[in-house]
């Protein structure tokens, strides 16, 4: 069964940094686009960033531009999200998701999701 | 930027009912739309991509339609396990991949 496992969440002060990781298993990670999505407590889903299978296409939500960096290491089957200058509004559960189609520079939606990792930004 | 809206925000229906959720984009996204179901405390579950293509293993009572700026998700014959919040997401590369605010479906 295809699986994604996020890690790296935790408690951080405003202005601090965290790096989230998402390790993939069972599927051919290097052939799929990947996303980060977050969900603040009690609220809806918010898309954060996406990266194509070959890293040639990278997209960010306005809330992430200039502060967050998405990257991937296909040799380690791992997706990353480097988060800097964190704010209390960044408090959320962060999910990674695998895009639906194989080796596409377009994005179709996420058919495999991790269970999420919680990030809390507070002083 | 692009805005996604959904209606209704909440609906209550009985088992066996036909349920329709509408998603609107503030600009044309052609057919670049996905739908998800999320139950409380769980990760989202992928239902539909390209506005109308059912993902593998998704029950056939779910269907999607639309293009441009208006889209619908229909559940024909609501089942008890269909409770939760439904989200649309635009995936047109010309815009951020914004989610709609969600539609909460309750079973009467």
pLDDT digits (tens, 9 = 90+) for A39-78: 999 999 999 999 999 999 999 999 999 999 999 999 999 9
**Residues of chain B contacting A109 with CB distance shorter than 8 Å:** 34-36, 46, 48-49, 89, 91
Task: Say if the Cβ atoms of B43 and A59 lie within 8 Å.
Answer: no
Sign of the Cα torsion B29, A108, B73, B107 reads negative
Task: Say if the Cβ atoms of B36 and A109 lie within 8 Å.
Answer: yes
Please give the average per-residue pLDDT across B82-87, as a whole number: 98
Q: What pLDDT was estimated at residue A26?
A: 74
Name which of A22, A23, A26, A15 is nearest A36 in CA terms. Answer: A22
> What is the Cβ-side half-sphere exposure of residue B76, based on CA atoms within 13 angstroms?
7
Interface test with A, best of B32, B91, B92, B100 (most A CBs within 10 A): B91
Comparing B20 with A26, which gets the higher pLDDT?
A: B20
pLDDT digits (tens, 9 = 90+) for B23-50: 999 999 999 999 999 999 999 999 999 9
- Nearest residue on chain A to B47, judged by CA atoms? A111
Q: What pLDDT was estimated at residue A100?
A: 95
Q: Give the mean pLDDT of chain A.
A: 96
pLDDT band at A27 (very low <50, low <70, confident <90, very high): confident
Q: What burial class does residue A37 get, using C-beta atoms within 10 Å of its C-beta: 0-12 exposed, 13-18 middle, 19+ buried? A: buried
Q: What pLDDT was estimated at residue A1?
A: 83
């Amino acid at each position: 069964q295809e699986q994604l496992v996020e890690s790296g969440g935790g408690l951080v002060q405003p202005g601090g940094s965290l790096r989230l990781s998402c390790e993939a298993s069972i599927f051919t990670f290097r052939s799929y686009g990947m996303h980060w999505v977050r969900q603040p407590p009690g609220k809806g889903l918010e898309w954060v960033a996406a990266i194509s299978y070959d890293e040639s296409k990278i997209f960010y939500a306005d809330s992430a531009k200039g502060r967050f960096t998405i990257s991937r290491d296909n040799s380690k089957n791992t997706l990353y999200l480097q988060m800097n200058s964190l704010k209390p509004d960044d408090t959320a559960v962060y999910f990674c998701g695998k895009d639906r189609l194989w080796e596409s520079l377009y994005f179709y939606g996420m058919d495999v999701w991790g269970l999420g990792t919680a990030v809390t930004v507070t002083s | 930027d692009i805005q996604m809206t959904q209606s209704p925000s909440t609906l209550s229906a009985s088992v066996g009912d036909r349920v329709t959720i509408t998603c609107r984009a503030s600009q044309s996204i052609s057919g670049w739309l996905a739908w998800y179901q999320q139950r409380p405390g769980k990760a989202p579950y992928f239902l539909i991509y390209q506005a109308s293509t059912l993902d593998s293993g998704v029950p056939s009572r779910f269907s999607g339609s639309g293009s441009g700026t208006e889209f619908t998700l229909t559940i024909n014959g609501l089942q008890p396990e269909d409770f939760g919040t439904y989200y649309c997401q635009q995936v047109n590369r010309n815009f951020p991949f914004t989610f709609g605010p969600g539609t909460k479906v309750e079973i009467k």
